[in-house]
């Protein structure tokens, strides 16, 4: 836990559009809708914001938290302390207040008992939740849900949120349900009016409406990845539910009837099949890919463990398939509802024998959409399994992101050949390198040519698919597969580099995935301290020459990631071995998203060890 007594608020005037709220409730109490209405209201006011749901892995009863960061500066990564706490859970009440610095604010339901030694340096606003609910006519079964709507109104009023902004958000949230919208806003309004009449504002936090963010939307990475896959011509998905990947497939299920219906026949052009376990999910997805369908599955680390043998089969038989890995904390069952970046090494080295895999690593929700369709193209072009590696934070939490752009390239089916083309190829073999780039031509189900058939096997085989244990043949086969995968590097998403305003800086920062917001904030705040850095976000592995050039051009490269062992740093040390001494691993594993505070402190401490900074 951060030492909040070391945090002070600058100046003595209003703090506008720069604060962090944590709403502390009980899992299963129905607070999700209220949380999102408050969060979405800030977005509708044009304020950059983020919302992170920190919830336990049980179904009901334990403390759960929804963290809203509001930042006109655009800093939307997690911060380690709160500025405002909305306390609705007696169990966590006392601990919740420890995350507040002096001057922090506590809104609390007055049904909670104040701790005996409550802090005197905080500002308290009791909320008469139970008393107000007696004045509002709602069905008994909805009382606990509506109690949450009261705090939306009370908190919104004290923070200066316009009443009409809350109403607009409620109407948007309950589109097509006017009676439900009216009932919810009536409760919010009751809280709003009570606060206006009874609360004397003592804190400094306030909001101000900005220009609307018309080019942006609020959504999560799983939703984006699922829809992007449908836009990419996905035809088959087999899956087995697992947190935090389940909602990715559920997003496709929700959208498939709208996006993937044949206008002539009225039939679906994409099948989504829930099977009995992860082994079946991977096996079925490989079978669909082998048969000629654009195919995928989605899982998390434990599921990958079960899928490993089948993925090796797809690699060796050169069957295209996409596997989404939405990471959680491992090993074993681990922490199913916490985030991490601990599966990278597993995917990179996955399988026995000489294997290597292509990994795409989106760092924004927009990239989740893009990599959804792009991964299918890459899988079919290079006839190999493709991993898309995200995590719980990016996948399940809501983010402000640019509106999705329709795929800017036609679907790439790769080297699928049909009857006429097959007649023009002399001596075609399924695994024959005709073009010299390691990528063979393939036939799929439906090809009626007698020349199209071949035997698919996971054992040794020659260019025509025939069984072979010949050492020279085996060597040629593995080196050809390696050749095509090396050729894929130029087709993968390039790293994104944010340069310092200063020239010839010594320090590089390297990251990946959902840590992007925290690292961008880190770079800007370090610059304000006179420490200038360049930042590179890796978006795919194997790495490109650009990654090598970035590492070579800096005296020290800090690799920031969310795992124990510094897995990205280890991989880059192998891929760019001649500059491995320039790579310094800074890693954190606790299940929470990265914070700029941790990154800044870690870099400065390491700089002191290197003798580059004074005390």
Q: Is the pLDDT of residue 426 over 80?
A: yes
- Sorted by where each starts, the structural domains of the chain and their CATH numbers stand as 4-206 (3.40.920.10), 219-402 (3.40.50.970), 496-609 (3.40.50.920)
Could you tell me the two tokens for 430?
Answer: 């399924």
Helix (H, G, I), strand (E, B) or coil at 580: helix
155-199 tens-digit pLDDT: 999 999 999 999 999 999 999 999 999 999 999 999 999 999 999
Q: What is the pLDDT of residue 185?
A: 95
234-263 tens-digit pLDDT: 999 999 999 999 999 999 999 999 999 999
Task: State the Cα–Cα distance between residues 268 and 21, nearest whole angstrom.
Answer: 44
Return the half-sphere exposure (C-beta side, CA atoms, 13 A cut-off) of residue 80: 17
Q: What is the dihedral of CA 413, 418, 423, 426, to 10 degrees?
A: 40
Q: What is the pLDDT of residue 7?
A: 84
Q: What is the pLDDT of residue 536?
A: 98
Q: What is the pLDDT of residue 549?
A: 98
324-339 tens-digit pLDDT: 999 999 999 999 999 9
Strands 533-538 and 496-498: antiparallel
Task: State the Cα–Cα distance between residues 406 and 388, nearest whole angstrom.
Answer: 19
- Residue keyed to tokens 């509506």: 146
Average pLDDT for the chain: 95
568-589 tens-digit pLDDT: 999 999 999 999 999 999 999 9
**Which CA distances in Å does 155 have to 158, 160, 161, 237, 592?**
5, 9, 9, 43, 26
Helix (H, G, I), strand (E, B) or coil at 505: coil
What is the 8-class DSSP label of residue 595?
A: B
What is the 8-class DSSP label of residue 494?
A: P
Q: What is the pLDDT of residue 140?
A: 76
Task: State the Cα–Cα distance between residues 498 and 477, nearest whole angstrom.
Answer: 40
**Mean pLDDT (whole number) for 376-393:** 98
Residue % of the chain over a pLDDT of 90: 90
Using only C-alpha atoms, the chain has a radius of gyration, in whole angstroms, of 27
Confidence band for 6, pLDDT divided at 50, 70 and 90: confident
Collect all residues with Cβ–Cβ distance below 8 Å to 99 and sequence separation of at least 6: 1, 2, 4, 22, 80, 81, 82, 85
Q: What is the pLDDT of residue 421?
A: 93
Strands 49-54 and 63-71: antiparallel
Task: State the Cα–Cα distance between residues 432 and 440, nearest whole angstrom.
Answer: 5
Q: What is the pLDDT of residue 613?
A: 64
Determine which helix (DSSP H) or strand (DSSP E) holds 361, and give its type and residue range: none
Q: What is the pLDDT of residue 161?
A: 98
Task: State the Cα–Cα distance between residues 372 and 79, nearest whole angstrom.
Answer: 29
Q: What is the pLDDT of residue 1?
A: 53
Confidence band for 543, pLDDT divided at 50, 70 and 90: very high
Q: Is the pLDDT of residue 364 over 60?
A: yes
Could you tell me the two tokens for 214?
Answer: 């018309």
**Mean pLDDT (whole number) for 261-282:** 97
Confidence band for 10, pLDDT divided at 50, 70 and 90: confident
Adjacent-strand bridge partners of 68: 21, 51
Nearest to 562 by CA among 592, 531, 603: 592
- What's this model's pTM, rounded to 2 decimal places? 0.96
Adjacent-strand bridge partners of 498: 535
Determine which helix (DSSP H) or strand (DSSP E) holds 250, and give its type and residue range: helix 246-259
**Mean pLDDT (whole number) for 495-504:** 96
Confidence band for 614, pLDDT divided at 50, 70 and 90: low
Phi, psi of 228 (to 5 degrees): -60, -35
76-129 tens-digit pLDDT: 999 999 999 999 999 999 999 999 999 999 999 988 999 988 899 999 999 999
445-493 tens-digit pLDDT: 999 999 999 999 999 999 999 999 999 999 999 999 999 999 999 999 9
Determine which helix (DSSP H) or strand (DSSP E) holds 129, and give its type and residue range: helix 129-134
Residue % of the chain over a pLDDT of 70: 99
Of 138-152, 180-194, 247-261, 371-385, the least confident: 138-152
Q: Are 281 and 297 in contact (CB under 8 A)?
A: yes
């Amino acid at each position: 836990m951060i030492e909040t007594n070391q945090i002070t608020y600058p100046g003595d005037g209003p703090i506008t559009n720069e604060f962090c709220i944590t709403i502390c409730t009980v899992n299963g109490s129905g607070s999700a809708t209220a949380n999102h209405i408050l969060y979405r209201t800030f977005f509708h006011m044009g304020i950059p914001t983020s919302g992170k749901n920190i919830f336990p892995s049980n179904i009901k009863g334990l403390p759960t938290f929804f963290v809203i960061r509001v930042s006109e500066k655009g800093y939307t990564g997690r911060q380690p302390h709160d500025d405002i706490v909305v306390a609705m859970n007696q169990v966590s009440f006392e601990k919740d207040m420890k995350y507040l610095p002096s001057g922090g604010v506590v809104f609390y339901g007055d049904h909670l008992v104040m701790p005996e030694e409550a802090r005197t340096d905080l500002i308290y606003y009791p909320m008469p939740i139970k008393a107000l609910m007696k004045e509002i006519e709602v069905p008994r079964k909805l009382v606990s849900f509506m109690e949450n709507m009261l705090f939306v109104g009370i908190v919104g009023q004290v923070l200066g949120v316009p009443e009409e902004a809350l109403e607009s958000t409620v109407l948007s949230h309950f589109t097509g349900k006017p009676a439900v919208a009216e009932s919810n806003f009536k409760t919010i309004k009751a809280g709003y009016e009570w606060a206006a009449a009874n609360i004397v504002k003592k804190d400094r936090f306030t909001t101000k409406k900005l220009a609307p963010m018309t080019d942006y939307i609020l959504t999560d990475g799983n939703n984006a990845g699922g829809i992007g896959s449908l836009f990419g011509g996905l035809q088959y998905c087999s899956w087995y539910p697992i947190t935090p990947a389940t909602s990715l497939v559920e997003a496709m299920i929700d959208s498939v009837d709208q996006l993937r219906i044949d206008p002539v026949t009225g039939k679906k052009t994409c099948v989504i099949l829930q099977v009995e376990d992860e082994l079946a999910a991977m096996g079925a997805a490989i079978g669909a890919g082998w048969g000629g369908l654009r195919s995928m599955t989605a899982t998390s680390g434990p599921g990958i463990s079960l899928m490993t043998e089948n993925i090796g089969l797809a690699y060796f038989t050169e069957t295209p398939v996409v596997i989404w890995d939405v990471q959680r904390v491992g090993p074993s069952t681990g922490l199913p509802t916490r985030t991490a970046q601990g599966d990278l090494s597993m995917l990179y080295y996955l399988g026995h024998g000489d294997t290597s895999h292509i990994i795409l690593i989106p760092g924004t929700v927009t990239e989740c959409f893009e990599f959804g369709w792009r991964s299918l193209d890459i899988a079919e072009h290079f006839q190999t399994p493709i991993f898309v590696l995200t995590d719980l934070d990016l996948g399940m939490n809501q983010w402000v992101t640019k509106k999705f752009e329709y795929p800017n390239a036609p679907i790439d089916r790769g080297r699928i050949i049909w009857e006429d083309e097959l007649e023009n190829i002399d001596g075609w073999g399924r695994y024959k390198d005709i073009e010299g780039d390691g990528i063979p031509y393939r036939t799929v189900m439906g090809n009626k040519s007698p020349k199209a058939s071949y035997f698919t096997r996971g054992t040794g085989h020659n260019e025509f698919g025939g069984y072979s244990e010949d050492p020279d043949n085996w060597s040629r086969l593995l080196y050809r597969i390696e050749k095509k995968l090396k050729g894929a590097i130029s087709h993968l998403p390039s790293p994104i580099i944010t340069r310092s305003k200063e020239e010839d800086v010594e320090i590089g920062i390297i990251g990946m995935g959902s840590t992007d917001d925290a690292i961008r904030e880190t770079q800007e705040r370090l610059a304000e301290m006179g420490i200038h850095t360049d930042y590179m976000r890796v978006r795919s592995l194997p790495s490109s020459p650009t990654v090598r050039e970035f590492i070579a051009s800096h005296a020290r490269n800090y690799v920031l990631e969310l795992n124990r062992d510094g897995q990205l740093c280890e991989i880059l040390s192998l891929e760019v071995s001649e500059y491995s001494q320039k790579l310094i691993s800074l890693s954190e594993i606790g299940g929470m998203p990265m914070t700029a505070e941790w990154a800044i402190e870690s870099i400065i401490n390491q700089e002191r060890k290197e003798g580059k900074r004074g005390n």
